[in-house]
Structure 1
Amino acid sequence: MNFSNIKIILNTLNSHMKLDLGIKYKLLSKWCKEHNIVYQEFCVTSTLNRRFHSSQRSAQPQKDTTLLPSPQEVTSILRQNEFNKELSSGSVKSYDSNQLASNDPIEDTRSEALCKMTSGLLMGVFDGHGGPACAQVVSKRLLNYIAAALLPLDILQKYVKDGLQENLIETFNDKVQIVEDLKLMYDNSFKQYLAQLEDFSKNGTDVAKCLEHGIMNLDSHLSKEVVDPYKTKGVINPKTLSVALSGAVACVAHVDGPNLHIANVGDCNAVLGTLTDESEWIAKKITKEHNSENFDELKRIWSEHPEAERKTVIRRDRLLGELAPLRSLGDYRYKWSTQILMDVAVPLVGHKAIPQNYHTPPYLTAQPDIYYHRLTSKDKFLIIASDGLWDMMTPLQAVKLVGEHMKGKVFFNPLKLPRKNIQLGDINDLLIHRKESLKSKPKDRNAATHLIRHAIGGTEYGVDHSRLAHLLSLSPDVSRMFRDDITVTVAYFDSEFLRQCPT
Structure 2
Amino acid sequence: MLSRLINFLRACWLPSSDPCIHTGLEAAGRQDGLLWYKDKGQHMNGEFSMAVVQANNLLEDQSQIESGPLSSLGSGPYGTFVGIYDGHGGPETSRYINDYLFQHLKRLTSEQQSMSVDVIRKAYQATEEGFFSLVAKQWSMKPQIAAVGSCCLVGVICGGILYIANLGDSRAVLGRHVKATGEVISIQLSSEHNVAIESVRQEMHSWHPDDSQIVVLKHNVWRVKGLIQISRSIGDVYLKKAEFNREPLYAKFRLHEPFKRPILSSDPSISVHRLQPHDQFLIFASDGLWEHLSNQEAVDIVQNHPHSGIARRLIKAALQEAAKKREMRYSDLKKIDRGVRRHFHDDITVAVVFLDANLLSRASTVKGPSVSVRGGGIHLPAKTLAPCASPMEHNST
Q: Shorter-chain TM-score: which interval?
A: 0.7 to 0.9
Residue-by-residue CA offset, 1:81-131 (whole Å, 9 max, x unaligned): 11155336x4x2121111000101111010121352331211100000001
Residue-by-residue CA offset, 1:255-287 (whole Å, 9 max, x unaligned): 113110010000000001112223211011111
2:393 equivalent in structure 1 = none
Q: Is 2:291 the counterpart of 1:382?
A: no
Q: Is 2:300 the counterpart of 1:400?
A: yes
User: By how many angstroms is 1:492 displaced?
Assistant: 0.9
Matches of 2:116 and 2:212, distance apart in 1: 36
Q: Is 2:160 the counterpart of 1:258?
A: yes
2:245 equivalent in structure 1 = 341
Relative to structure 1, the CA distance from residue 246 to residue 104 in structure 2 (aligned partners, 3 Å threshold; closer, same or farther) is same
1:494 equivalent in structure 2 = 356
Relative contact order higher in (CA < 8 Å, ≥ 6 apart): 2
Residue-by-residue CA offset, 1:472-491 (whole Å, 9 max, x unaligned): 22233442122110000011
Relative to structure 1, the CA distance from residue 98 to residue 498 in structure 2 (aligned partners, 3 Å threshold; closer, same or farther) is same
2:316 equivalent in structure 1 = 453
Matches of 1:271 and 1:381, distance apart in 2: 9
1:195 equivalent in structure 2 = none
User: By how many angstroms is 1:366 displaced?
Assistant: 1.1
* 1:37-436 correspondence to structure 2 within 5 Å: 69=10, 73=14, 77=32, 80-84=35-39, 86-87=41-42, 90=44, 92-116=45-69, 117=73, 118=76, 119-151=78-110, 153=111, 201=112, 205=114, 207-227=116-136, 236=139, 238=141, 243-277=145-179, 278-307=181-210, 309-316=211-218, 317-337=222-242, 339-342=243-246, 346-347=247-248, 349-406=249-306
Matches of 2:51 and 2:174, distance apart in 1: 18
> Which range is displaced more, 397-406 or 351-360?
351-360
Matches of 2:176 and 2:256, distance apart in 1: 46
Relative to structure 1, the CA distance from residue 134 to residue 328 in structure 2 (aligned partners, 3 Å threshold; closer, same or farther) is same
User: By how many angstroms is 1:495 displaced?
Assistant: 2.5
Which structure has the bigger radius of gyration? 1
User: By how many angstroms is 1:390 displaced?
Assistant: 0.3
Contact persistence 2:87–2:151 (CA under 8 A): yes
Identity of aligned residues (%): 26
Matches of 2:351 and 2:256, distance apart in 1: 37
Relative to structure 1, the CA distance from residue 327 to residue 482 in structure 2 (aligned partners, 3 Å threshold; closer, same or farther) is same
User: By how many angstroms is 1:378 displaced?
Assistant: 0.9
Contact persistence 1:69–1:469 (CA under 8 A): no
User: By how many angstroms is 1:331 displaced?
Assistant: 0.4
Contact persistence 1:134–1:244 (CA under 8 A): no
Contact persistence 2:281–2:354 (CA under 8 A): yes
Matches of 2:244 and 2:359, distance apart in 1: 52
Contact persistence 1:333–1:355 (CA under 8 A): no
Matches of 1:336 and 1:326, distance apart in 2: 15
Aligned residue for 2:245, secondary structure, equals helix
Residue-by-residue CA offset, 1:304-355 (whole Å, 9 max, x unaligned): 2243x22344343011111111111000110112x4433xxx23x3444423
Relative to structure 1, the CA distance from residue 495 to residue 106 in structure 2 (aligned partners, 3 Å threshold; closer, same or farther) is same
User: By how many angstroms is 1:252 displaced?
Assistant: 0.5
Normalized against structure 2, the TM-score is what?
0.75
| More helix, by proportion | 1
Matches of 2:208 and 2:12, distance apart in 1: 53
Query: Structure 2: which 5+ residue stretches go unaligned?
Result: 19-31, 364-397
Quick one: which amino acid aligns to residue 96 of structure 2?
V
Relative to structure 1, the CA distance from residue 350 to residue 243 in structure 2 (aligned partners, 3 Å threshold; closer, same or farther) is closer
User: By how many angstroms is 1:246 displaced?
Assistant: 0.4
User: By how many angstroms is 1:211 displaced?
Assistant: 0.8
Matches of 1:74 and 1:318, distance apart in 2: 41
2:347 equivalent in structure 1 = 485
Contact persistence 1:320–1:356 (CA under 8 A): no
Contact persistence 1:272–1:286 (CA under 8 A): yes
Matches of 1:292 and 1:206, distance apart in 2: 31
Matches of 2:80 and 2:289, distance apart in 1: 23
Relative to structure 1, the CA distance from residue 206 to residue 70 in structure 2 (aligned partners, 3 Å threshold; closer, same or farther) is closer
Matches of 1:481 and 1:79, distance apart in 2: 15
How many corresponding residue pairs?
335
Relative to structure 1, the CA distance from residue 356 to residue 383 in structure 2 (aligned partners, 3 Å threshold; closer, same or farther) is farther
Quick one: which amino acid aligns to residue 195 of structure 2?
S
